[in-house]
Structure 1
Amino acid sequence: MTDFRLRHLPLDTMREHVIIIHERAVHDGNLGLRPLDRARVFGADRETGKQREITGVLNICSDDLLEADEIGLSKEAFHDLGLPEGAAVGASLAVAPRSVDLVRAKLRGKRLRREDFDAILADVAARRYSRVELSMFVLGCALQKIDLAELTDYTLAMIATGQQLRFADPIVADKHCIGGVPGNRTTMIIVPILAELGLKIPKTSSRAITSPSGTGDTMAVLADVALSPERLYRVVDEVGGCIAWGGALELAPADDILITVERPMEIDTEAQMVASILAKKKTAGATHVLIDIPVGPSTKVRTLELAEHVGGLFRAVAERIGLRLEIVTTHALGPIGYGIGPRLEALDVLSVLRCEQGAPADLREKALMLSGRLLEITGVEPPSRGYAAARRVLDSGAALARFDRIVAAQGRRELPPEAPVRRQIAAEQSGRIQQIDCWEISRIAKRAGAPANVSAGVKLHKNVGDNVTRGEPIFEIHADNDSQLQNALEYCDSVRHLIHFE
């Protein structure tokens, strides 16, 4: 328990507490600490005298990053400790949270109760779990059966880890797609349509988990999405809706931390998906929610039977947590729209809202269909009249005007330039496109740099149902540099059945 001087190291460790000390401190202080041990850093607040502490994963440096009497904390750890740089702090070995034993039990097949999930997710939200322990929990939920009661308890525990938005309106609409279809940015069209027709729709969206862009990534190209609760309330009061990043709102924060390990593992489990989506809808203040479940040979849900099963889980848990839910099963043989990646998808959205000639018809029609269903389940329009009402708002230009007001209220951003490095990929045969593999085309876009590089991704020249001639450009890879382009091209060459022809 040696005294150190606190150093703030501006390292973004994706919500994990990382602690760094010099190797000389380990040797000279005989702390008994090794790399990747769980360490505890503690100190007294000079103003209040209150003892403050955090735990984190220990890393050791051997260069001049730190002096032997300094201890460095990553950005998140420094913020959570709440002591000034240079403060005197101590360090010691820390024990794992008791809830980790519950995670091990889940991995062995034990059924967890509400209080177990409360304990696990409270420790997750407090950043007491290492990446390894987070991965253990995600895999435990993926590999072991979770029954309906257990899934409900998991969802309620996730809701309880953060704050909840509350609106005075008796009806608050929301919509979510479970994902798996690249380019499927219907939300950014639905929100202004519904807001224009008088519905409150405070849409909170995630960043990409396994995709080249989430709604939060795409909207962030055009506007600020990191809204505080206070700003979100002001935006919704002013323009009727918003498209914000849920991670900035501390709504079900344990879920946002779990996503940081789901993303690199490319895992989005059934239980995690249901709990995550419904917890975010409930904490965002929604009363009426539409869930879009795309079904196709390369989507997350491959069969109608599985869609019925997943839809049944959504309905059952939603009923138990007090949400009115509508499930829509949609058919997906390939991407929606032409763009895959934040900037390219934003261009598709703007093209539909502007009713431009050549705008992606599949994106327009799906957005109108889903808007119509939401208008009907909320009672704004009678049965079978929602689609027509949504189309009138879109075709009149009112949806575009409302979207522009939403962008302005959230904080407008200048559209980034087109990616500087691009390469067209030609069709290897002639014929009519029957299917484009959603998973593989997404991976190409990710290897090109999306969503981290917002202009990167894939732009389709042809989509499902189009006729092509051998040698004709079928899609184009966009990247920020030659290295990322080459990475995407190499992966593209390795894919055997990316595009299927009739």
Structure 2
Amino acid sequence: MEAEKQPLRLRRIGIDTHQEPVAYLRQDCHVCKSEGFSVHSRIKIATENRSIIATIQFITNQLLTNQEIGLSEAAWQLLKADEGEQVHCSHAKPAESFACVKSKLAGKSFEESSVFEVMHDICLGHYPDIQLATYLAACSGTHLSPPEVLAITKAMVNSGQRIDWNIPQVLDKHCVGGVPGNRTSPLVVAIVAAAGLTMPKTSSRAITSPAGTVDTMEVMTPVNLSLEQIRQVVEQENGCLVWGGSVSLCPADDILLRVQRALNLDSEGQMVASVLAKKIAAGSSHVLIDIPIGPTAKIKNQSAAFRLQRLLVATGEALGIEVTAMTSDGNQPIGFGIGPALEAKDVLAVLRCDPDAPIELAQRALIIAGKLLEIGSKADEGEGYRLAQKILNSGAAEKKFMAICEAQGGFTEPPVANNVYEVTASHNGIITYIDNRFIARLAHFVGAPVVKTAGLEMQVKLGDQVVSGQPLFTLHAEAKGELNYALEFLQQHPDAIRIEETWL
């Protein structure tokens, strides 16, 4: 009997491999022997109705019998099978499109047809993580030309569903990132939707930051909505704040983002393709892009920002959407909170017009919302900020935000962490430098964004005068071990917040 005709029984063994499909087998399994499978082999697992591609790992204990195959949670969700169901396993055919990726590494340009093949194979799971990483490396830096970026964007849009709102104007915004605590989207959506404009915000989870819009929003309300649920929320409230991955908008991009997060690797062209593909797939007609500039932000200087602006606008124009790109100050964190629950706390403080709310976060949200109100013809040019401020101060934005949360499944106040630790100034002086990347990494070390309550709360800004022993920021953690780990990291980087000495 052929090896692929010999079935194995499925076991759901409850291992979280994030979005990577992994299959677990005994090394003495008859299929492993006959097929010559080894660790990291790529195999096709097929039921009568469905098949997936997964990466093999071997089990050496009695967790599985040699008649069973275990699936990670990601693989189980993809296969949509039942416990104990029989499957057939065989070697997965290598993705022929990977030759295009190797050619790109060798210095050749992507053709539009080859990019479509690459994205198609990525969506089908034909690329293991090492090949996904190779693709991202080939696209890193400024290695993609404008025609290549356009081709990748088109291919990503075609990789999943596309929403049509059947109205002439659908607004959206995006920040290219690199600045912790820049949680403007919930505020902007609330203000713009309260003004009567349509703004369905679909976002990704955090890539390299301690929290994304979705990570913050799911502290307060459900974000995993179906397409029909999203439509109902938007029809009722003019806006939403949901996870785009729940409705398969640009699934190729979701797969790439998982690996990009692990690599902590940015690519100008891939960033443009990722951002615009998701906006187009979400049905946006007008998009405002915020580009923070700073020495420890993603975009380091004005020339890099200008190059990115041109690429964003030109790619959007070629694909039929209007893109407006603006620059902003990326020299320091924006809000006080860094981490999902702490950023949610900041958002609510601004919406509730709390006198202790972070002023910089409120101002940046008002600038972005004001520009969108002008684009949406709700305010004359130069008058958008004033209208946005009026909507916020009147309580209309808070009311709209709560209505959106209720429509998405209900509102919950952000939780708090079990452990906190104040980090204080070692001497008198003026705050002259704050390292955004260090602050973000420190928030990661205490558990953000996976642990929703974890992160840190800034208590100083650039230019502040401090005295020895004054709090600089407070760490929030659920586990003391994570808190101690962060403190060890902090000791190794004493200049992440620079205090120029003065004598007070």
TM range (shorter): over 0.9
Q: How many Å separate the matches in 2 of 1:194 and 1:81?
A: 40
- Structure 1 position 11, deviation (Å): 2.6
Query: Map of 1:66-465 to 2, 5 A cutoff?
Result: 66-142=64-140, 145-465=143-463
Instruction: Structure 2: state its 5+ residue gaps.
Output: none
Q: Give 1:466's match in structure 2, choosing from 464, 467, 483.
A: 464
- Structure 1 position 414, deviation (Å): 2.7
CA contact (8 A) 1:109 1:144 kept: no
Q: Deviations over 1:459-494 (max 9, x none)?
A: 111122322112111111111111000111111111
CA contact (8 A) 2:335 2:361 kept: yes
Distance change (3 Å), C-alpha of 1:101 and 1:143 = farther
Single out whichever of 286-295 and 373-382 deviates more from structure 2: 373-382
Could you tell me which amino acid in structure 2 is paired with residue 203 of structure 1? K
Q: How many Å separate the matches in 2 of 1:380 and 1:277?
A: 26
CA contact (8 A) 1:109 1:145 kept: no
- Structure 1 position 417, deviation (Å): 2.9
CA contact (8 A) 1:447 1:488 kept: yes
Q: Deviations over 1:315-338 (max 9, x none)?
A: 111111111111110012200011
Could you tell me which amino acid in structure 2 is paired with residue 426 of structure 1? T
Q: How many Å separate the matches in 2 of 1:131 and 1:34?
A: 16
Q: How many Å separate the matches in 2 of 1:410 and 1:60?
A: 42
Q: Deviations over 1:258-296 (max 9, x none)?
A: 011111111121111110000011111111110000001
Q: How many Å separate the matches in 2 of 1:340 and 1:143?
A: 27
Distance change (3 Å), C-alpha of 1:227 and 1:380 = same
- Per the alignment, residue 44 of structure 1 pairs with 48
Q: Deviations over 1:403-440 (max 9, x none)?
A: 11011111224334311111111112222223311110
Q: Give 2:486's match in structure 1, choosing from 477, 482, 488.
A: 488
CA contact (8 A) 2:142 2:268 kept: no
Q: How many Å separate the matches in 2 of 1:202 and 1:28?
A: 48
- Per the alignment, residue 14 of structure 2 pairs with 10
Structure 2-normalised TM-score?
0.95
Could you tell me which amino acid in structure 1 is paired with residue 463 of structure 2? G
- Structure 1 position 31, deviation (Å): 2.5
Q: Give 2:34's match in structure 1, choosing from 30, 33, 37.
A: 30
Q: Give 2:63's match in structure 1, choosing from 62, 65, 76.
A: 65
- Structure 1 position 84, deviation (Å): 2.9
Distance change (3 Å), C-alpha of 1:28 and 1:146 = closer
SS of residue in 2 equivalent to 1:476: strand
CA contact (8 A) 1:295 1:332 kept: yes
Distance change (3 Å), C-alpha of 1:143 and 1:397 = closer
Q: How many Å separate the matches in 1 of 2:42 and 2:141?
A: 26
- Structure 1 position 74, deviation (Å): 2.2
Q: How many Å separate the matches in 2 of 1:217 and 1:242?
A: 14
Q: How many Å separate the matches in 1 of 2:341 and 2:32?
A: 52
Could you tell me which amino acid in structure 2 is paired with residue 80 of structure 1? L
Structure 1-normalised TM-score?
0.96
Q: How many Å separate the matches in 1 of 2:32 and 2:86?
A: 18
SS of residue in 1 equivalent to 2:168: coil
Could you tell me which amino acid in structure 2 is paired with residue 186 of structure 1? T
Instruction: Structure 1: state its 5+ residue gaps.
Output: 46-51
SS of residue in 2 equivalent to 1:55: strand
SS of residue in 2 equivalent to 1:257: helix
Q: How many Å separate the matches in 2 of 1:215 and 1:335?
A: 15
Q: Deviations over 1:163-216 (max 9, x none)?
A: 111112211100000000100011111101000111000011111100100111
CA contact (8 A) 2:272 2:312 kept: yes
Identity of aligned residues (%): 40
Q: Deviations over 1:83-122 (max 9, x none)?
A: 4332332222222111122222222222111111111111
- Per the alignment, residue 49 of structure 1 pairs with none
Q: How many Å separate the matches in 2 of 1:160 and 1:221?
A: 31
Q: How many Å separate the matches in 1 of 2:267 and 2:192?
A: 31
Could you tell me which amino acid in structure 2 is paired with residue 423 of structure 1? Y
Q: How many Å separate the matches in 2 of 1:119 and 1:410?
A: 36
Q: How many Å separate the matches in 1 of 2:190 and 2:270?
A: 29
State the number of aligned residues: 496
Q: How many Å separate the matches in 1 of 2:178 and 2:42?
A: 36
- Per the alignment, residue 24 of structure 2 pairs with 20
CA contact (8 A) 2:190 2:401 kept: yes
- Structure 1 position 62, deviation (Å): 1.1
Q: How many Å separate the matches in 1 of 2:15 and 2:374?
A: 48
Indicate the RMSD between aligned Cα atoms, in angstroms. Answer: 1.5
CA contact (8 A) 1:107 1:143 kept: no
Could you tell me which amino acid in structure 2 is paired with residue 74 of structure 1? S
